Structure 1
Amino acid sequence: MSNPIPRISVVIPSYKVTRHILGVIAGIGPEVSRIYVVDDKCPDRSGQFVREQCSDPRVVIIEHAENQGVGGAVMTGYQAAIAEGVDIIVKVDGDGQMDASLIPDFVAPIVNGEADYTKGNRFFDLEQINQMPAIRLFGNAVLSLLTKLSSGYWDLFDPTNGYTAIHVNAARHLPLHRISKRYFFETDMLFRLNTINAAVVDVPMDASYGDEVSNLKISKIVTEFMAKHLRNFGKRIFYNYYLRNMSLASIELPLGLAMLLGGGGYGIVHWLQSAHAGTATAPGTVMLSALPVLMGMQLILAFLAHDIASVPRRPIHRMTRARAKAPARATLPE
């Protein structure tokens, strides 16, 4: 028996995109059965604009009474799609940067059982990334490294790419009310997906920059995101290596950090004492400092190797039924 055709929906967060949103909707192909336009308290009243100007029967307008940010708008769309019983939810921006004809490419890995969540990667084609402004190129490289550490998805890149698709069974298991509502939500989504062991893959796409105005300033958010990445890294390590599972890596990380910091601190103290006295540091003291530092680095590298090898590969949407989340998941710390 052949598998039934999945019901695909698209969520479009709408804020100051009235110049482009009708074209975005028009470009969405017949494979999509529902389109949710979420007016995030747009000053241009984009929801009303689409209601008056668009006759596509697939379109559903959702309006926020207060601005919640792009993440909040997407989560509202997710909740509407889950309630309606769709199979796959695609998120497309309303500013015209994302080619709607790529929707089948984002859906295919999910339908084929290769992923629970897919996201765009504008860095796949090296010839195309020349179109990307230098500050975005640098900022995305920094954010990608931070995201690998905090999310645990070491094989992904371009973390701020908002072109995504998710299977509804994976979305049901996410704490949608906890996911960041502002610009950090794409990377926060990856952290949350890792905590439920969802399989995530990148989908190659070209960078596109037209006359749209982006509210995201990479130069301003790198430092702001740093603290949030550190927070998520700590929470992920606690969840995956202590709360839900214990392994050799659970010992390697704290032991490696203790040896690295202890040996380094011991060496620095004795080096300062020797410098103050004007004498050379004793070889034995150097060895007592260097040995734990080297062993600590080896243990930390072993932990990272284990973490990289532990990237979720098996889609969970095939192992879960369409049901509400188990209450136990809601008890996880914020």
Structure 2
Amino acid sequence: MNWGKCMNNSVDGAEPKIAVVIPCYRVGKLVLDLIPRIGSEVGWIFIVDDACPVNTGDLVLAECKDSRVHVIKHAQNQGVGGATITGYKAAAQTAAIAVVKLDGDGQMDPALIGRLSRPIVAGRSDYVKGNRFHRIRDVSSMPWVRLFGNAGLSFLTKLSSGYWQLFDPTNGFTAIHRDVLQELELDNIAKRYFFESDMLYNLNQVRAVVTEMPMWAVYGDEPSSLNPAKVMLPFLKGNLRNFGRRLVYSYFIRNFSLASLELLFSIPLILFSIFYGGWHWVEGRISGLPTVPGIVMTAALPLIIGVQLFLSWLNYDVANQPTQPIHPFINEGDDV
């Protein structure tokens, strides 16, 4: 991994509190147009060249005039998540309060960086994500393939992460408190396109407060690098794995409550009803004989009770989202 820095111009104005990480792969000169649009509230800009075939890092080193810019080059491609994690580790060594991830293709407006970071700087949130679905006018301009693909991926991420209030969890325009980075096992977070969803799962495990900022997205004629048809199966697999891990850690290892019992009993009851009732239904269809009322009740009653228990657990899970930011307490022991 190689480092480089642009050596001109200083940042004027108030002391900056924000660092920006820009993962770059096939970005090229687009990032050169993006950097000048990043305001003085940002004191550090980390360009992570993820073994870019168009040598974006070298281009920035040769042509940028901004002293805030540091270039990090990967010898091998690690994916958007791997590039972002490299930038996070570098930003964690600065004096920044908030660390923003910004794509280099211009689809995220740098003018929103301050607004995105405000809840973190003010101490109200640990992690903030953009939400492209907040305004109807923004949704109407979104390509329908992206709209339906993101809706499906968003639901899976809600299920696996436990952040049910998020409506655009696959959005890559994010800000995180620098101190929260040290609470995460960054090297164990997914490196490719599953990074955003896996990040939310890991944030839930440390009980970080996650909020959203309404935003608009700019879509040009460039093809999306995220093909919903290709990533749906890997996303389904990853989210189901995280969902199972979250249930075990949150309801049976780290905590055990009435909701744990509701979950523990609801699933076996529902499965019993489905298999028991289905077996006798098939048997009745083959034999042509009517199903005995006792069998119907034996299948229906556990299903009713199981569904009620599951809905009660789901209500608890939706309400059991972190509300107290963790970053003020991470280093409090250092002052003792």
TM bucket by the smaller chain?
Answer: over 0.9
Q: Distance in 2 between matches of 1:213 and 1:45?
A: 20
Range moving further from structure 2, 193-202 or 243-252: 243-252
Cα drift, residue 46 of structure 1? 0.6
TM alignment of 1:240-255, pairs within 5 A: 240-255=250-265
Give the 4+ runs in structure 1 shifted more than 4 A.
Answer: none
Q: Which amino acid aligns with 1:91?
A: K
Offset from partner CA, 1:177-227 (integer Å, 9 cap, x none): 011110110111000000000000111001211244432112221122101
- Aligned partner of 1:201 in structure 2 is 211
**Structure 2 runs not aligned, ≥5 long:** 1-13
Cα distance between partner residues in 2 of 1:289 and 1:323: 55
| TM-score (structure 2 length as normaliser) | 0.92
Which residue pairs with 1:270 in the alignment?
280
Contact 1:116/1:167, CA 8 A, preserved across alignment: yes
Equivalent position of 1:24 in the other structure? 34
Contact between 1:116 and 1:316, CA under 8 Å: does it hold in 2? yes
Query: How far apart are 1:243 and its partner, in Å?
Result: 1.4
- Alignment pair present for 1:190 and 2:200: yes
Give the partner amino acid of 2:157: T
Offset at 1:323? 8.8
Of 291, 310, 329, the residue aligned with 2:301 is: 291
1:61 aligns with 2:71: yes
Larger CA deviation: 81-90 vs 180-189: 81-90
Q: 1:42 aligns with which of 48, 52, 64?
A: 52
**SS of aligned partner of 2:327:** coil
Equivalent residue number for residue 231 of structure 1 = 241
Provide the rounded CA distance (Å) in 2 between the counterparts of 1:175 and 1:296: 36
Unaligned ranges ≥5, structure 1? 325-334
Contact 2:172–2:196 (CA<8 Å) still a contact in 1?
yes
TM-score, normalisation: structure 1? 0.93
Aligned equivalent of 1:14, options 20, 24, 40? 24
Give CA-to-partner distance per residue, 1:292-319, whole Å, 9 cap, x none.
0110011111110000000111110012
Kept in 2: contact 1:135–1:219 (CA 8 A): no
Count of residues in correspondence between the two structures: 321
Alignment identity in percent?
50
Q: 1:308 aligns with which of 314, 318, 335?
A: 318
Contact 1:39 / 1:62 at 8 angstroms: preserved in 2? yes
Distance 2:102 2:196 in 1: 12
Q: Per-residue displacement from partner, 1:248-295 (whole Å, max 9, x unpaired)?
A: 111111210000111221111222222222110011110111000110
Report SS of the residue matched to 2:321.
coil
Deviation at 1:83, TM superposition (A): 2.1
The equivalences for 1:97-136 within 5 A come to: 97-136=107-146
Could you say if the C-alpha distance between residues 234 and 5 of structure 1 is closer, same or farther in structure 2, counting changes exceeding 3 Å? farther
Letter of the structure 1 residue corresponding to residue 24 of structure 2: S
Query: One-letter code of the match for 1:114?
Result: R
Aligned CA RMSD, in angstroms, stands at 1.5
